[in-house]
């Protein structure tokens, strides 16, 4: 029976000539997607990247719970929202895949460090599809070193079905890789060093990047240098992709950069959301290419909402299902109105309990297949 189903699927794909893996941008019609899981999530232990990326007000939480499972009531609430998100995506005609469930509270050791894990909630951090290639990012957190295991059965399956699968070189994550002195400075000093001197917690000894620091505009990819993504990784990405793509390094007026998808979010060709609190330093590049940059609406998250991994600007971390439909958090009414005024159909979904874990709709997904072709979007003459 299984063989018959496989044969049927292969025949159907052959007839329709559907690529197994195919995505070139953030807005073409979504056909298949990986959605993360919160089950098994553990609070990461204190480490340099965590110190550089969380508010000092959260440190008591990490000292108390680091290495232990997240409180069950937080997990249950977020898992419920993720299940509803998957249900709605399926109803919209999209194939939804999920990673395996792991107990990330387990302790592990390499020759360079000892840690426990984090979660498999944010596939956008570890996986990115560029054309027919799935790239597995090395990431910079010790607690995320073995996160790939939750996705391994999926990436192997996609390889077997015809996709290209590339695993970027992993950093050893030794103490020498991190600027520990920087990580331990008071937050105001760190912010000042980052804004004025481009200081980051990760050094350039080995390539390191989170896939969520990359945004795709067809042949042009924009990558930010952040606490997770270093310059050597940007070099690696360009050389791995070759001449078919152009990789551009961009920066934002951000004192604590981590992940680009709450700073720059393309909606469709010619229109992108930008974060008014941390504008892009190379903004003129997009204007010269004919793109309208629209300031995102202010977030509505209450100040007392538990947020351990990100700011309230996660409100602009939306997911485009195509050039008309966009998924938005149900209580972010200013964002919904802004998008509706721009002509989009908004699909509101409750997601604030997922916010608590450091992401929203774009973070918790990796678009495996869109009805997408490799095209130019006005950036052929830029130099970054």
**233: Cα separation from own chain's centroid:** 16
Dihedral sign, Cα of residue 175, residue 44, residue 202, residue 248: positive
**188 in helix, strand or coil?**
helix
**127 in helix, strand or coil?**
strand
**246 in helix, strand or coil?**
strand
Please say whether the beta carbons of 200 and 221 come within 8 A. no
Which residues lie across from 185 on neighbouring strands? Answer: none
The DSSP element (H or E) to which 155 belongs, if any, is: helix 152-160
User: Which residues form the catalytic set?
Assistant: 210, 259, 363
**Residue 143: how many CB atoms within 10 A of its CB?**
24
Please report, for residues 94, 123, 261, 339, the alpha-carbon distance to residue 86 in angstroms, rounded to integers and kept in the order given.
9, 14, 20, 22
**198: Cα separation from own chain's centroid:** 22
Q: DSSP label at 218?
A: T
Residue with tokens 């989170």: 210
CA distance 351 to 355: 7
The DSSP element (H or E) to which 224 belongs, if any, is: strand 220-224
Please say whether the beta carbons of 194 and 243 come within 8 A. no
* Six-digit token string for 351: 């997601």
CA distance 233 to 154: 24
Residues 6+ away with beta carbon under 8 Å from 147: 104, 117, 118, 119, 120, 126, 139
Query: Among 325, 155, 258, which residue's Cα sits nearest to residue 336?
Result: 325
């Amino acid at each position: 029976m299984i063989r018959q189903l496989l044969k049927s699927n292969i025949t159907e794909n052959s007839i329709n000539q559907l690529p197994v893996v195919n995505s070139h941008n953030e807005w073409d019609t979504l056909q298949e997607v990986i959605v993360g899981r919160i089950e098994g999530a553990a609070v990461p232990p204190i480490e340099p990247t965590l110190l550089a990326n969380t508010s000092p007000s959260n440190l008591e939480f990490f000292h108390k719970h680091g290495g232990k499972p997240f409180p069950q009531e937080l997990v249950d609430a977020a898992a419920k929202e993720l299940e509803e998100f998957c249900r709605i995506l399926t109803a919209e005609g999209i194939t939804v895949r999920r990673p395996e469930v792991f107990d990330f509270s387990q302790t592990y050791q390499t020759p360079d460090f000892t840690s426990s894990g984090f979660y498999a909630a944010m596939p956008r951090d570890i996986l990115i599809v560029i054309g027919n290639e799935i790239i597995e990012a090395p990431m910079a957190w010790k607690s995320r070193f073995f996160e790939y295991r939750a996705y391994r059965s999926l990436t192997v399956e996609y390889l077997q079905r015809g996709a290209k699968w590339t695993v970027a070189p992993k950093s050893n994550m030794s103490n020498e890789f991190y600027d520990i002195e920087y990580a331990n400075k008071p937050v105001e000093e760190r912010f000042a060093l980052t804004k004025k001197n481009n200081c980051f917690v990760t050094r350039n000894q080995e390539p390191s990047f989170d896939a969520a620091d990359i945004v795709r505009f067809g042949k042009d990819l924009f990558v930010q240098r952040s606490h997770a993504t270093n310059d050597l990784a940007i070099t690696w990405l360009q050389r791995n992709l070759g001449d078919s793509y152009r990789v551009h390094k961009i920066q934002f007026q951000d004192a604590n950069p981590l992940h680009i998808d709450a700073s720059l979010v393309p909606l469709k060709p010619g229109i992108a959301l930008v974060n008014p609190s941390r504008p892009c330093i190379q903004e003129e590049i997009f204007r010269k290419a004919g793109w309208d940059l629209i300031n995102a609406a202010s977030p509505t998250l209450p100040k007392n909402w538990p947020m351990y991994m990100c700011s309230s600007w996660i409100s602009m971390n939306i997911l485009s299902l195509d050039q008309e439909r966009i998924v938005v958090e149900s209580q972010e009414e200013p964002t919904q109105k802004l998008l509706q005024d721009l002509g989009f159909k908004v699909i509101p979904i409750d997601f604030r309990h997922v916010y608590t874990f450091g992401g929203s709709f774009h973070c918790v997904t990796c678009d495996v297949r869109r009805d997408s072709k490799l095209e130019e979007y006005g950036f052929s003459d830029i130099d970054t």
